[in-house]
Amino acid sequence: MVLNRQTPKTEFALFDRDIGALGLSANVVPQSRLKLEAASREECLVVHGGAPLTAARKELWCLAHAMPVAAAAVALWHRAHLKALACVVLALIAVQYLLSGGVLDRRSIETIFTINTTRYADRSYRTHPRGLIIYGQATVVPSLAAGGNVSSTTILSILAKGLSNSSKSEPVPVRNLVGTTRELPVANATNNATIPRCSLIPPNLVGPVIVSKSPPPLSEMEKSFVEVKAGGIGRPADCVARHRVAIIIPFRDRPQHLQTLLYNLHPVLLRQQIDYQIFVVEQEGTEAFNRAMLMNVGYVEALKERTFDCFIFHDVDLLPEDDRNLYTCPEQPRHMSVAVDKFKYRLPYNDLFGGVSAMSREHFQLVNGFSNVFWGWGGEDDDMANRIKAHGLHISRYPANVARYKMLAHKKEKANPKRYENLKTGKKRFSTDGLANLQYELIDKRKPKLYTWLLVRLTPPQPS
């Protein structure tokens, strides 16, 4: 059949019918009909070896020349049987791919979603931004006998294995980074070379603990803690501790709180297999309480006893709720009381360093200790946070479902009216205000069973 301007009307009728079957818009049809009318015999014979085209091929040929290629493709897609066939084929391909193990294989999923926490073990966190806290078992579990720095995240992952935790508290915000735990020289070395080094992960941890706010009489407590030596010294008997830790408790007029803390804290420390000593530093007199200065005194006096690798500064009214919150030596200054019941187990603000905090001896010396100018409640912890950041360090934290504490009810200390002013001008005094100008008088020192007691008279620093 030859297409020319004398094409019968029946030809147009057939063409219109097929155009409608293709699902084309109406505005395409007039252009296609003009193309059909203008078509010549020579145009109808192309690409077909000279053989005349059938009516259907003529319509498609005219259609392809009347529309853009994309429009023609869409039109063909709208043919129902082609669409259904293509969908079935694609579905079969997808099912075959999934069943072949390429995606649904468990090992492949673990490879994609498991983060190897050990890769941060040797990284310097000095300039590392705060990052994601990772839970669960690492892809590669490090050897517990290996030396060198070991990620606290890895330690917590191993600790969490097999330990239930019913806590529903919110996790620490992502920007809070967990630091690393330093491998230290042998803490309680003796001439007996047969004593092994303590396990990196203490074997007797239980996870969440029941906090008691009603301790027995002090005499009964002293009898129950048979492992604790005079002066509040505890260390494992069957292995060499990895950490030498001084616990510094600033104190005044809260004997019941102190007794409650000792009753809850000693069992946790003993299970953690660290070599520790608890120092209670009491301020003499009736002047405004200077918590920061007492902690500086505790640091200085503890080092007169023996060498400690790190120091944990501990408020007397905070009771630990989980023994996986390790009182060990951190690679970076560690804020330990992340989640406190009084604050609904949420971190009040990111730079908080109060409550319970840990620092290595080197870092505490580097920042010149705490400021001595904060008399009364508030400000000294924020000043320490500023010192930490100013010296290129950062605050590290354990997750909120581990670093949990209960706070004992107490009357709030009178606030320091100059705390904001002291904070504002603190940077100018970092090098001169702290350990460098600490002045005090040691009035008394005793070593009862559960702690070392220091009674001191503080001397306000002289203006420079």
User: What ranges do the domains of the chain cover?
Assistant: 222-458
Neighbours of 128 (CB within 10 A): 13
Span 222-458 CATH architecture = Alpha-Beta Complex (3.90)
Please enumerate in sequence order all residues whose Cβ is within 8 A of that of 315, keeping only pairs 6 or more positions apart, or say none.
249, 250, 337, 354, 355, 356
Q: Are 340 and 355 in contact (CB under 8 A)?
A: yes
Strand partners, 358: 312, 334
What does the pLDDT read at residue 7?
46
* Closest by Cα among 397, 317, 313 to 351: 397
Bridge-based pairing state of the strands 452-458 and 440-446: antiparallel
Alpha-carbon distance 372 to 380, whole Å? 8
Sheet of strand 404-407: strand arrangement: 318-320, 404-407, 339-340
Bridge-based pairing state of the strands 244-251 and 180-181: unpaired
Residue 318: C-alpha distances to residues 19, 273, 314, 338, 451 (Å): 82, 21, 8, 11, 17
H or E element: which one contains 137? none
What does the pLDDT read at residue 395?
97
Alpha-carbon distance 404 to 400, whole Å? 6
pLDDT in tens, the chain (464 residues): 444 444 445 544 554 555 555 454 444 444 444 444 444 444 544 444 444 545 555 555 555 554 444 455 555 555 556 777 888 888 887 766 565 444 444 333 333 233 333 333 333 333 333 232 222 332 222 333 334 445 555 565 655 554 444 333 333 333 333 444 454 454 454 445 688 999 999 999 999 999 999 999 999 999 999 999 999 999 999 999 999 999 999 999 999 999 999 999 999 999 999 999 999 999 999 999 999 999 999 999 999 999 999 999 999 999 999 999 999 999 999 999 999 999 999 999 999 999 999 999 999 999 999 999 999 988 899 999 999 999 999 999 999 999 999 999 977 777 778 888 888 888 999 999 999 999 999 999 999 999 999 999 999 876 65
Buried b (16+ CB within 10 A) or exposed e, 330-360: bbbbbbbbbbbeeeebebeeebbbbbbbbbb
* Angle (CA) 315 306 277, round 5°: 35
What does the pLDDT read at residue 434?
96
Rounded to two decimals, the pTM is: 0.63
* Closest by Cα among 406, 373, 355, 361 to 250: 355
What does the pLDDT read at residue 435?
97
Count Cβ atoms within 10 A of the Cβ of residue 275 and give its class: 0-12 exposed, 13-18 middle, 19 or more buried.
buried
H or E element: which one contains 126? none
What does the pLDDT read at residue 463?
62
